[in-house]
A and B are shown apart, each in its own frame.
Chain A
Amino acid sequence: MTNRPDDLRVVPGEVPDDATLVADFTPTLVDVGAHHLCPGCGEPVAIRAVMDALALLDLADRCVAVFGIGCSTAFSNNLDVEVLQALHGRAPSVATGVARMRPELAVFTIQGDGDMANEGLQEVLHAAARGERIVCIMLNNGVFGETGGHLTVTTTVGQRTKNTLEGRDPAQHGHPMQIAELVAGLQGVAYVARGAVNDAGNVARTKRMIVDAFTVARQGLGFALVEVLTMCPTGWFVPTDEAPAYLADTIASTHRVGVLRSELP
C-alpha cells in the first residue's frame, strides 16, 4: 500500500477483453438490484445468499418464497422467484399449506426476527414440531427495523434500540430469546444453523448452510431453519462501517454462529 501512488486509479468501466467475469452487478435470480433499504443493510446480502443457493440446487423454477412483514418484504418484488406475502409472523403456516398441496416444490419463508420471533413465534415452533418440509430463513438484526428500530425478543443484553436507549437491561426488558437453539430442541427438526453476513467469509458459510437446509427439506427429512445475523446500522445507532464489527462483538456473542443440528446424511 505504501508504494502505491494515490493517483494510480483504475478507470471505471475499462476491462481488458480477455478478463473473466467472476461477479456481476445483478446477482442470480435478482431482477432489480436497486432497492430502498438503508445504507449498510445486511438483508439484501442475506437474500442474495438464498437466491444463490436456489440457483445452485437448480430450484429456481420449482420454488415458492413466502415473505413475512418487515424491511425484507420491500426486496421481495426484486426477486425472480414466485413470492407469496403472508401476514405478520404467519409465513410458516402459509408455507405449510403450499408445501402440503404442492409437495414437489421447494417452499421457504423469509422473515425478520420481529416477524418470526415476536409476532409469530408459535407459527414457526408448531411448523418445526410438525416436521413440515419447509425451510424458514430468519434475518436477525435484533430490531423492528421497518417500524422504527425498537426492541425485539432477540435484542441482546446491552444493545441499544429506540426504546432501550441505555441498552437492553434484563431487569427491565427481560432476556433475549435464542430462536435457533429453541427450534433445534424440537423433534421433527432436521436442520438448524445460524449464519451471518458481516464479512465475505461468513456470507460464503451462510450460503452453504442454506444449501444444506434446502437439501434436507427436499429429501423429506424434516423442518429446516437458518437464522442469518444481519446488520442494521440505522437501528443500532452505529456508523455503517462499524456495523460488521458490532455484529461480531455484540450480537454474535449471544447468538453464536454455527450449525446447531443437522440430519444431513
Chain B
Amino acid sequence: MTDSIPVRGTAVIDTEACKGCDLCIDACKPDVLVMTTDRTNTRGYRFPELLAGCTACRACADVCPDFCFQVHRFETPRQWNGAWS
C-alpha cells in the first residue's frame, strides 16, 4: 500500500556477528526488526533485518549481547523507497 514511510533513523546490522538470540526483535518498539527465516550467516545463525520505520531509539544496540547494531539518527525524517530521499 505505502511505497515510502517517513523514518527517523536507520541501523546497520553486522549479521556475521549475530548469534540469532532474537532479543532485539522484542526490544524494538516500532517493531521494524524481523528475523530471517530462510537464510543464515556463515556460522549458521538466523539474523535480524531492518524494515523501514526505525526511530533510532537504539534499544536494539542496548540489549544486543553481540554488539551487532550501529544506529544512526536523521535530523529530519527521510523516506525510504529503495533509496533514501
Contacts and interface: CB of A to CB of B under 8 A. Distances in A.
A79 B25 CA distance: 27
Given A200-B27, A200-B62, A241 B21 contact: yes
A35 B22 CA distance: 17
A176 interface: no
Contacts of B40: none
Nearest to A48: B67
A244 B72 contact: no
Interface stretch (A39-47, A125-133, A134-142, A215-223): A39-47
Contacts of A197: 63
Contacts of B31: 1
A75 to B, nearest CB: 10
B20 A39 contact: yes
Given A10-B80, A15-B72, A33-B17, A22 B56 contact: yes
A200 B1 contact: no
A108 B49 CA distance: 38
A40 B32 CA distance: 20
Nearest to B5: A4
A240 B84 CA distance: 34
A172 interface: no
Contacts of B25: 241
Nearest to A8: B52
Nearest to B25: A241
B52 A19 contact: no
Contacts of A43: 65
A174 B51 CA distance: 49
A74 interface: no
Nearest to B47: A12
Contact of A244 (B26, B54, B62): B26
A33 B18 CA distance: 11
A40 B72 contact: no
A203 interface: yes
Contacts of B19: 38-40
B23 A44 contact: no
Interface string B42-69: 0001000111111011110111111111
Given A4-B53, A6-B51, A10-B50, A21 B70 contact: yes
9 contacts: A4-B51, A5-B2, A12-B49, A35-B66, A39-B19, A39-B21, A43-B65, A197-B63, A243-B23
Interface of A: 1, 3-6, 8-10, 12-16, 18-27, 30, 33-35, 37-45, 48, 197, 199-200, 203-204, 233, 239-241, 243-244
Interface of B: 1-2, 5, 9-15, 17, 19-23, 25-27, 31-32, 34, 45, 49-54, 56-59, 61-75, 78, 80-81, 83-84
Given A15-B12, A22-B58, 12 more contacts: A1-B31, A4-B5, A12-B12, A12-B13, A22-B56, A23-B58, A23-B69, A27-B67, A34-B17, A34-B66, A40-B19, A199-B63
